[in-house]
Amino acid sequence: MKKYLLAPGPTQVSPEVLLAMAQPILHHRAPEFVELLKRVKEDLKWLFQTQNDVLIIASTGTGGMEGSVSNFLSPGDKALFVNGGKFGERWGKICKNYGVLTEEIKVPWGYVVKPEDVSKALKKDPSIKAVFIQASETSTGVAHPIREVAEVVRGYEGCLMIVDAISALGVFDIQTDTWGLDVVISGSQKALALPPGLAFVSVSEKAWRQAGKASNAKFYFDFKKERESLAKNQTAYTAAVSLIVGLEQSLKMMKEEGLQNIFARRSLMAQALREGMAGIGLASYPKEAPSTSVTAISAPEGYDGQEIYKNLRVKYGITAAGGQDDLKGKVFRISNMGDLDTFDTIMAVAAVEMVLKGMGHPLNLGTGVGIAQGILLKK
C-alpha cells in the first residue's frame, strides 16, 4: 500500500530533500560545512523576514521553546502565556519548570486570543517580561492574531513577544522584524518539510538585551553560545549535518517559489480542503481564524473522529491526525504542511468521502472533490 503523510508533523519530505540528505556525511568543522552554514544562515533570514541571525539547534521544536524560556527569563520573573490548546499549555509547563511565575490567558478551544485581553493583563502587571503565544495552535487548527498582539507588547520596553511559529512559519505570512516579534521559533518537521530534529530561533536586539540579564540555568540550550558560534558559521556542538544539507535544499525550493506564491498556494489548498469538507456537511472545527497549516474538521454527528482518522490510515495508507484531549473523537486533522500540492488536497477530500461512505454516512461521492477542484482551478 502506498503511504501518504498528511499529519501536522512530521510532514511529507520531497524526493529532492531526501536525496540531498543521502549524501556522505560532512564533518561539522570542515570548510565545506562552514560554507554551507553561511548560505543557510542567509536563507533563514529570508524565510523569517528578519535581519537578525536565526539560531539552528539540534532538537525538536520544544527545545526551541524551552530555550526561549530559560534564555530570556530568571526564576521569579513574571510571564504571560496564551493557552488556547495543547501547545499553549506547554508554555505554562515549561515556565513552571524554570521557576517563572505565570499569568495565563485561557482561550476556549477553537477560538483566538483577544489582543485587548493581552493589553489588559500587561496594564495590570507591567512587570511581565514576556508574552508567550502560538502563531498556529496545531491542536485546534486556529491561528492567533500575533501581529495585533505584538502591537500591544511593543509598547512595553521590558516585555518580549515570543512566538511559537513551529507550525506556521513558511506556510503563512509572519513578518518577524516588521511586526516586532522578538523571538520566533520554528521546527524542521512541520512547515519546512524536513525530517524531525532541528529547531530554529530568531532573536531580536531587545531580546538579546534581556538575555544578558536572565539568570536561569542552561547548558545545551545556551542561545548566547549558539550566537557566538553562528557568527563564525558554526554550531556550538555537533551540527545535525545531514538535516542542514536537507534544509539548504528545502530553502532553495522555497526561494524558487517565492514567499508570496507559497502563502497564496497554501491558502488556496486550505480553502479547498475546508470547503470540500463543508460540501459534504463536515464543519471546520475552529470557530474563528482557521489556520492555513492544519485543518481541524468536526466529525459528523454520530461518527467517531478517531475512527475516521484510523480508517484513513488502515484502508488507504493516509496518516492524518485525530483530536487531542477534549477533542478526542470529536475531530480529525489534515495537514497542509510538507511537500504537498493540488492533488494531495484533492486526494484528502476524496479519501474522507470514501471513508465516511464506508462508515455508512449518506453522502454523494465526488461532491466535496468537485468543490475542491473548482477552488484549486483558480490557481
| Chain residues in the site for ligand PLP (CB under 6 A) | 9, 60-62, 87, 134, 136, 138, 164, 166-167, 187, 190
> Residue 21 in 3-state DSSP?
helix
The CB-of-352 to ligand PLP minimum distance in angstroms stands at 22
The CB-of-189 to ligand PLP minimum distance in angstroms stands at 6
Say how many Å lie between the first and final Cα of the chain, rounded: 31
By beta-carbon proximity to ligand PLP, the closer residue of 83 and 134 is 134
Phi, psi of 246 (to 5 degrees): -65, -40
The CB-of-1 to ligand PLP minimum distance in angstroms stands at 26
Question: Cell numbers of 118, please?
Answer: 493581552
Reported residue count of the chain is 379
Is residue 10 within 8 A of residue 247, CB to CB? The reply is no
By beta-carbon proximity to ligand PLP, the closer residue of 139 and 311 is 139
The CB-of-231 to ligand PLP minimum distance in angstroms stands at 26
The CB-of-60 to ligand PLP minimum distance in angstroms stands at 3
CB atoms within 10 A of CB 219: 7
What is the number of helices (H) and of strands (E) in the chain?
A: 13, 13
List strand residue ranges (DSSP E) for 158-291, in order: 160-164, 183-187, 198-203
Is residue 52 within 8 A of residue 181, CB to CB? The reply is no
By beta-carbon proximity to ligand PLP, the closer residue of 240 and 369 is 240
Is residue 134 within 8 A of residue 84, CB to CB? The reply is yes
Instruction: In whole angstroms, give the CA distance from residue 294 to residue 271.
Output: 11
By beta-carbon proximity to ligand PLP, the closer residue of 60 and 102 is 60
The CB-of-31 to ligand PLP minimum distance in angstroms stands at 31
By beta-carbon proximity to ligand PLP, the closer residue of 62 and 242 is 62
Question: Cell numbers of 308, please?
Answer: 475516521
By beta-carbon proximity to ligand PLP, the closer residue of 21 and 198 is 198
The CB-of-257 to ligand PLP minimum distance in angstroms stands at 22
Is residue 141 within 8 A of residue 290, CB to CB? The reply is yes
The CB-of-198 to ligand PLP minimum distance in angstroms stands at 9
CA nearest 357: which of 346, 344, 368? 368
By beta-carbon proximity to ligand PLP, the closer residue of 100 and 355 is 100
Pairing of strands 136-137, 142-143: antiparallel
Is residue 106 within 8 A of residue 162, CB to CB? The reply is no
By beta-carbon proximity to ligand PLP, the closer residue of 291 and 311 is 291
